[in-house]
Amino acid sequence: MTGGGLLIAGTTSDAGKSVVTAGVCRWLARRGVKVAPFKAQNMSLNSFVTRDGAEIGRAQAMQAAAARAEPTALMNPVLLKPGGDRTSQVVLLGRPVGELDARGWRAGRRERLLGTVTDCLAELRRTHDAVICEGAGSPAEINLRHGDIVNMGLARAARLPVVVVGDIDRGGVFASFFGTTALLSPEDQALVAGYVVNKFRGDVTLLEPGLRMLRDLTGRPSLGVLPYAHGLGIDEEDGLRVSLRGTVRESSVAPPHGRDVLRVAVVPVPLMSNFTDVDALAAEPGVVVRLTDRPEELADADLAVVPGTRGTVRALAWLRERGLADALARRAAEGRPVLGICGGFQMLGERIEDEVESRAGTVPGLGLLPVRVRFAAEKTLARPVGEALGEPVAGYEIHHGVAEVTGGDEPFLDGCRAGAVWGTHWHGSLESDGFRRAFLRRVAADAGRAFVPAPGTSFAALREEQLDRLGDLVEEHADTGALLRLIEDGAPAGLPFVPPGAP
């Protein structure tokens, strides 16, 4: 197999494209295939820094892990990071190149990027046996088709066969499959080779009459019915949607190793980014992680986490408007643990000078840490390593804010601790097992809880188990022979046209 490819599209956003792409990557990797993931254009506030300092979507980094490949900027050449309802920061080949509103993006920037996107895909195909591409939204968004570089525009340019995934848990999956196909032009339809039903519950034989009818109507087979399975969400793309479905254990909590559970409240700040930081906490037996925007629930938790955000000044105002700033201040005064990560760390400081992100000038912070923040035009993208609480730590940094630490009780990674308030720019630090356990022991002591971290929890091993489960789903419930033929040979010739086609 040399340079084969496949595009996983979806009937809707959140149909399961990311999960299926990761599952196909892991299934192929286990077969000894050198495989890479690819997403031409991603809109996400959840991002990751590669070893060479490039910023890509966090979902593509997780798909690379599924493929057992080192993540690179080639896997996600265009990343859009929303800064509000109408504007996004454009990250091209891992580096920010400016802010753009939706009208400017539609005015032709996408079309000019098609060459960059196809060049990146061609390079991956040159160096890998197979590249599994993920689409975005739906390929049948006919208002956007003329400038599409991630769905059928990419498939046409690179001659990729397309498999469409539909979420049956939402209902209407047969209509979605048929309608998606029927709204595509004849040239686009010629690449749509089949369908995958995702999140099915129950007896699959009850679905088979509908699958046969769908094949009769479209001339295309169903290539798999994937059962509904809890705890399979990989890292989320959409930081605008409040969700913790990316956590390893979702809402279920393993029994505590000690006598008490530890309750963690995560504040869902506007434009929340890299909230996957708390996944490692949710993986710990006895740690209950919940999102809350209620001051009383924040006050009652054993640990309050203020996560990152693409709108630090806006999030700071939001905390004050909802009484959450006062709740955090009371926690600090009472010696009850608070952790700020990246933008959350910046908000806990004394002041923020921002002429870059919000252009609000100097804004007072919450004053819980002796830190002053100045926003720089150049973004910091790094993969730091160090030590904290006597344990080795690795993380990654993605921020414009430059922090000046002027005091505190002790250094904490690149930030500091003052009383029971901790702050750092390092994302991903809690994935370092020894450090996470040491931090939770300190939190439990400050919170007065008889919580003891389980000694054997390995976050990396749990992630591997999760990715293997995704591979199992594909191997056990998809037509893997048909998928291999598509990857190797492309879409079969003579697929019928389904009227009416694109207007």
Residue 502 confidence (pLDDT): 86
Residue 88 confidence (pLDDT): 85
* Catalytic annotation present for 427: yes
* Catalytic annotation present for 342: yes
**What is the spatial distance between Cα 223 and Cα 197, in angstroms, rounded to a whole number?**
8
| Sheet strands (E) in 391-434 | 391-394, 397-405, 410-412, 415-418, 421-424
Q: What is the residue-level pLDDT of the chain in tens, covering all 503 positions? A: 458 999 999 999 989 999 999 999 999 999 999 999 999 999 888 899 999 999 999 999 999 999 999 999 999 999 998 886 678 889 999 999 887 776 665 555 666 789 999 999 999 999 999 999 999 999 999 998 888 999 999 999 999 999 999 999 988 999 999 999 999 999 999 999 999 999 999 899 999 999 999 999 999 999 999 998 876 655 555 433 333 333 433 445 678 887 899 999 999 999 998 888 899 999 999 999 999 999 999 999 999 999 999 999 999 999 999 999 999 999 999 999 999 999 999 999 999 999 988 888 999 999 999 999 999 999 999 999 999 999 999 999 999 999 999 999 999 999 999 999 999 999 999 999 999 999 999 999 999 999 999 998 999 999 999 999 999 999 999 999 999 999 999 999 999 999 999 87
Residue 44 confidence (pLDDT): 87
**Annotated active-site residue in 399, 400, 427, 477:** 427
Residue 1 confidence (pLDDT): 44
Helix, strand, coil fractions of the chain, as percent rounded to 5: 35, 25, 35
Helical pair 58-66 and 459-477, crossing angle rounded to 10 deg: 70
pLDDT in tens, 182-218: 999 999 999 999 999 999 998 999 999 999 999 999 9
Q: Is residue 51 a contact partner of residue 68, using CB atoms and an 8 Å limit? A: no
Count of helices and strands (H, E) across the chain: 16, 27
In angstroms and rounded to an integer, the radius of gyration of the C-alpha atoms of the chain is 23
**What is the spatial distance between Cα 411 and Cα 61, in angstroms, rounded to a whole number?**
30
Residue 276 confidence (pLDDT): 86
**Annotated active-site residue in 342, 399, 400, 477:** 342
pLDDT in tens, 119-174: 999 999 999 999 999 999 999 999 988 889 999 999 999 999 999 999 999 889 99
